[in-house]
Amino acid sequence: MSRYDVIIVGAGIVGLGTAHRLLEARPSTRLLILEKESTVASHQSGRNSGVIHSGIYYKPGGLKAQNCRTGYLQLLDFCRTYGIAHDICGKIIVATRPDELPRLEELHRRGVANGLMNLQWLDPVQMREIEPNVAGIRGLRVTETGIVDYPGMSLKLAELIQQRGGQIRLGEPVINLIRSSHGCEVTTPQGTYAARTIVTCGGLQSDRLARQTHPQLPMRIVPFRGEYFKLVPERHYLVKNLIYPVPDPAFPFLGVHFTRMVHGGVEAGPNAVLAFGREAYRKTDFNLAETYETLAWPGFRKVATKYWRTGFGEFRRSWSKAAFVRALQRLLPAIQSEDLVTGGAGIRAQACLRDGSLVDDFYILEDRDVIHVCNAPSPAATACLSIGSHIGGMVLPHLN
């Protein structure tokens, strides 16, 4: 059996960021990453909006806020060092109705508390100087927001990890994870590997991995598909950079927006519809066992009872392009259905507790030599190097 100091399960950007930071801190670490797919960043890390978040949304003091701010600077440094495409182009958050104004002010307060610089209030005229086609009654300009190539960053991280002696085995799903008399062991269809410490960074599968050592885990991942449209090239001029609505505090991840992509093009979306499978990227994909698992989870049933109206609205926008376009027109009245063509989709891993609460912050379960990253929601891509240092700091004491 091959033996390592650390095995990381999952080569998304959190697993890769953790491996990178560990090898920087302790170059002699014998490290293995096991990834079930044939490429790194196949799921959330390679199918997201490509935004470098500034930290304006998050509750001051929480892990999200802290790691987003430190991770932001570390990400910029990484991108500059290794030539990863990025652009700090700024974004505007646009209030279109008076009832959104207090929420926009709350965002401003959070931004200031989280140490954001150069936040600017905009009246409608000032908004249109930045985004000539936008409609709204007040805007907040967040100059620190940017866009980046996360798949490119993930590939670079993988390259650096391998250069430093780390191994990455692709196409090896971990099917069993146990503690043994000599540490921990994981099994894949290709073999069994032992390590002093195991870190799971399984994204959409995080609860399944955590349940291998914590069968009573009071949390399940509920998958929400986010669908994007692309603006046809002739209408790219409608969007200069990033235009966002004011988020609903109950569902900060809801609200379709416009994002200029770092390699060109403009995306609109994503919505958030319950996915009938953890990797059900197409509307018609249906995984019976996984759908049953979601519906049977008491926490999900509580969420569905409470928020069925919101969920229904998202379904409507998923099946009706006209409804999707109407949501976009609140921000950009000139946009028409024929300006949009179907784009890709990502699936968000939403951690849901048995009591029906949705876990908002990062949630890392540490039990001696096994560390499970159970919830790494947005802005985990922005924050990956900072979360990586944080998790690395939890691992190092086990190696000394």
Ligand X SMILES: Cc1cc2nc3c(=O)[nH]c(=O)nc-3n(C[C@H](O)[C@H](O)[C@H](O)COP(=O)(O)OP(=O)(O)OC[C@H]3O[C@@H](n4cnc5c(N)ncnc54)[C@H](O)[C@@H]3O)c2cc1C
Distances (CA, A) of 311 to 204, 227, 241, 317: 20, 14, 28, 10
> Shortest Cβ distance from residue 339 to ligand X (Å)?
21
| 90 contributes a contact to ligand X by CB under 6 A | no
| 380 contributes a contact to ligand X by CB under 6 A | yes
Strand-pairing partners, residue 263, are none
Name the residue with tokens 């507790």: 353
| 217 contributes a contact to ligand X by CB under 6 A | no
| 9 contributes a contact to ligand X by CB under 6 A | yes
Task: Among 203, 223, 277, 299, indicate the residue that binds ligand X (CB under 6 A).
Answer: 203
Rg for the chain, CA atoms, rounded: 21
Give CA–CA dist 391/211, Å, rounded.
Answer: 19
Give CA–CA dist 223/146, Å, rounded.
Answer: 26
| 376 contributes a contact to ligand X by CB under 6 A | yes
Nearest CB to ligand X, comparing residues 243 and 376: 376
Nearest CB to ligand X, comparing residues 13 and 219: 13
| 388 contributes a contact to ligand X by CB under 6 A | no
Task: Among 74, 145, 205, 294, indicate the residue that binds ligand X (CB under 6 A).
Answer: 205
Nearest CB to ligand X, comparing residues 138 and 278: 278
The piece of 100-108, 282-290, 293-301, 344-352 that touches ligand X (CB under 6 A) is: 344-352
Nearest CB to ligand X, comparing residues 139 and 270: 270
> Shortest Cβ distance from residue 89 to ligand X (Å)?
13
Record the tokens describing residue 118, joined without a space: 């150069």
Task: Among 381, 385, 391, 395, indicate the residue that binds ligand X (CB under 6 A).
Answer: 381
- Encoded one letter per residue, x for contact with ligand X by CB under 6 A and - for no contact, window 18-37 reads ----------------xxxx
| 79 contributes a contact to ligand X by CB under 6 A | no
Name the residue with tokens 């235009």: 243
| 364 contributes a contact to ligand X by CB under 6 A | no
Strand-pairing partners, residue 183, are 180
Q: Residues of 354-375 as b/e, b for ≥16 C-beta within 10 angstroms?
A: eebebbbebbbbeeebbbbbbb
> Shortest Cβ distance from residue 268 to ligand X (Å)?
13
Task: Among 348, 364, 374, 386, indicate the residue that binds ligand X (CB under 6 A).
Answer: 348
Task: Among 152, 245, 247, 270, indicate the residue that binds ligand X (CB under 6 A).
Answer: 270
Nearest CB to ligand X, comparing residues 12 and 136: 12
| 49 contributes a contact to ligand X by CB under 6 A | yes
- Encoded one letter per residue, x for contact with ligand X by CB under 6 A and - for no contact, window 136-175 reads -------------------------------------xx-
DSSP per-residue letters across 87-133: E---EEEEE-SGGGHHHHHHHHHHHHHTT---EEEE-HHHHHHHSTT
Rounded (to 5) percent helix, strand, coil in the chain: 35, 30, 35
Record the tokens describing residue 352, joined without a space: 């849901």
Q: How many CB atoms lie within 10 A of CB 39?
A: 14
- Give the chain's largest Cα–Cα span: 68
Nearest CB to ligand X, comparing residues 246 and 275: 275
Nearest CB to ligand X, comparing residues 111 and 138: 111
Give CA–CA dist 336/18, Å, rounded.
Answer: 43
Distances (CA, A) of 169 to 34, 248, 263: 5, 41, 29
Binding residues for ligand X (CB under 6 A):
9-15, 34-37, 41-45, 48-51, 53, 173-174, 201-205, 209, 226, 270, 346-348, 376-382
